[in-house]
Amino acid sequence: MGVSRGLKLSEEYAGYVKRKYQFILLSSALLFAMAVYAISVGSIHLSVWQVLSVLFEGGKGTQHIVIWNIRLPRLLAAVIAGAGLSVAGSVMQCLLKNPLGSPYTFGVSQGAAFGAAFAIVVLGAGSIHSSSSDAVIVNSPLTVTGCAFLGSVISTVVILLLTRFARVTPQAMILAGVAMGSLFTAATMLVEYFATDIEVASIVFWTFGDVGRATWRDVCIMTIIMVAFSLYAMLNRWNYNALDAGEDSARSLGVDVERIRIYGMLFASLVTAVVVAFLGIIGFVGLVGPHIMRRMVGSDHRFLIPASIVGGSLLLLVSDTVARRVIAPVVLPVGIVTSFMGAPLFLYILTRRWKGI
Amino acid sequence: MILYVEGIRFGYNGEVTLKDIEFELKRGRVCAILGENGAGKTTLLKCIDGVLKPRVGTVYVEKKNLAEMSKNEIAKYIGYVPQRYSEGMLTVFDTILLGRKPYIRWDVSRRDIGIVEDTIQKMGLENISLKRIDEISGGELQKVIIARALVQQPKVLLLDEPTNNLDIRNQIEVMRIIKEIVAERDMSAVVALHDINLAMRYADDFLILKNGKILSCGGFDTITPENIKRAYGIEAEIVSYRDVPLVVPLDS
Neighbour count for residue A321 (Cβ, 10 Å): 21
CA atoms of A183 and A120, how far apart (whole Å) = 19
The verdict on residue A10 lying in a domain is no
Does A5 contact B at CB distance below 8 Å? Answer: no
CATH code at B37? 3.40.50.300
The verdict on residue B252 lying in a domain is no
Closest residue on chain B to A97 (Cα): B87
Give residue A204's domain range: 19-351
Q: Which residues of B touch A251 (CB under 8 A)?
A: 49-51, 71
Which pLDDT does position A8 carry in this prediction? 84
The H or E element containing residue A257 is: helix A257-279
- Indicate yes or no: CB of A354 within 8 angstroms of CB of B94: no
Label residue A129 by pLDDT band (50, 70, 90). Answer: low
Number of domains in chain B: 1
- Indicate yes or no: CB of A300 within 8 angstroms of CB of B127: no
- Indicate yes or no: CB of B101 within 8 angstroms of CB of A253: yes
Give yes or no for residue A2 having a pLDDT over 50: no
- Residues of chain A with pLDDT > 70, as a percent, come to 91
Quick one: DSSP state of residue B194? S
pLDDT by residue (tens digit) across A243-293?
Answer: 998 888 899 999 998 899 989 999 999 999 899 888 888 888 898 899 889
Average pLDDT of every residue of chain A: 85
pLDDT by residue (tens digit) across B63-114?
Answer: 899 989 999 999 999 999 998 776 678 999 999 999 999 999 888 999 999 9
pLDDT by residue (tens digit) across A162-195?
Answer: 877 877 777 788 888 888 999 998 998 888 888 7
Does B69 contact A at CB distance below 8 Å? Answer: no
The verdict on residue B235 lying in a domain is no
Interface of A with B in 252-311 (CB under 8 A): 252-256, 298-300
Residue to substitute from A3, A4, A240, A253, interface B, most B β-carbons within 10 A:
A253
Q: Which residues of B touch A290 (CB under 8 A)?
A: none
- B106–chain A nearest CA distance, Å: 7
CATH code at A225? 1.10.3470.10
Interface of B with A in 100-119 (CB under 8 A): 101-102, 104, 106, 113-114, 117
Closest of A121, A118, A122, A262 to residue A184, by C-alpha: A118
pLDDT by residue (tens digit) across A36-47?
Answer: 999 988 878 888
Give yes or no for residue A239 having a pLDDT over 80: yes
- Indicate yes or no: CB of A245 within 8 angstroms of CB of B75: no
- In total, the C-beta contacts within 8 angstroms joining chain A to chain B are 115
The verdict on residue B241 lying in a domain is no
Give residue B54's domain range: 3-225
Query: Nearest CB to B72: which of A16, A97, A254?
Result: A254
CA atoms of A290 and A293, how far apart (whole Å) = 5
Label residue A356 by pLDDT band (50, 70, 90). Answer: very low
Interface of B with A in 139-158 (CB under 8 A): 145, 149, 152
- Indicate yes or no: CB of A13 within 8 angstroms of CB of B128: no
Which pLDDT does position B129 carry in this prediction? 92
What are the backbone angles phi and psi of residue A144, rounded to the nearest 5°? -65, -45
For β-strands B156-160 and B78-81, DSSP reports them as: parallel
Closest residue on chain A to B146 (Cα): A249
Label residue A305 by pLDDT band (50, 70, 90). Answer: very high
Q: Which residues of B touch A248 (CB under 8 A)?
A: 46, 51, 80, 82
The H or E element containing residue A172 is: helix A170-193
The verdict on residue A3 lying in a domain is no
Query: Nearest CB to A1: which of B50, B94, B130?
Result: B130
Closest residue on chain B to A5 (Cα): B127
Sign (positive or negative) of CA dihedral B242, B247, B248, B250: positive
In this structure, chain A runs to a length of 357
Give yes or no for residue A131 having a pLDDT over 70: no
The verdict on residue B7 lying in a domain is yes
Give yes or no for residue A322 having a pLDDT over 50: yes
The verdict on residue B100 lying in a domain is yes
| A51, A39 contact by CB (below 8 A) | yes
Query: Nearest CB to A249: which of B86, B91, B131?
Result: B86
Which pLDDT does position B156 carry in this prediction? 95
Q: Virtual CA dihedral for A113, A117, A123, A128, nearest 10 degrees?
A: 140
Q: Which residues of A touch B71 (CB under 8 A)?
A: 251, 254-256
The verdict on residue A14 lying in a domain is no
Query: Nearest CB to A253: which of B75, B86, B114?
Result: B75
Neighbour count for residue A174 (Cβ, 10 Å): 23
Residue to substitute from B80, B94, B151, interface A, most A β-carbons within 10 A:
B94
CA atoms of A303 and A238, how far apart (whole Å) = 11
The complex scores an ipTM of 0.88
Which pLDDT does position B137 carry in this prediction? 87
- Indicate yes or no: CB of A9 within 8 angstroms of CB of B88: no
Find the mean pLDDT for residues A227-236: 96
Which pLDDT does position A354 carry in this prediction? 46
pLDDT by residue (tens digit) across A56-101?
Answer: 877 677 888 888 888 999 999 999 999 999 999 999 999 888 888 8
The verdict on residue A356 lying in a domain is no
Interface of B with A in 157-216 (CB under 8 A): none
Closest of A348, A257, A245, A95 to residue B89, by C-alpha: A245
Closest residue on chain A to B130 (Cα): A1
Number of domains in chain A: 1
Which pLDDT does position A136 carry in this prediction? 67
Interface of A with B in 88-107 (CB under 8 A): 97
| B41, B160 contact by CB (below 8 A) | yes
pLDDT tens for the 252 residues of chain B, in order: 889 999 889 988 778 889 999 999 999 999 999 999 988 999 999 999 988 888 899 999 998 999 899 999 999 999 999 987 766 789 999 999 999 999 998 889 999 999 999 999 988 898 999 999 888 988 889 889 999 999 999 999 999 999 988 889 989 988 999 999 999 888 999 999 999 999 999 999 999 999 999 999 999 889 999 999 999 989 999 998 888 888 999 875
Give yes or no for residue A116 having a pLDDT over 90: no
Q: Virtual CA dihedral for B140, A299, A174, A223, nearest 10 degrees?
A: 160
Q: Which residues of B touch A299 (CB under 8 A)?
A: 88-90
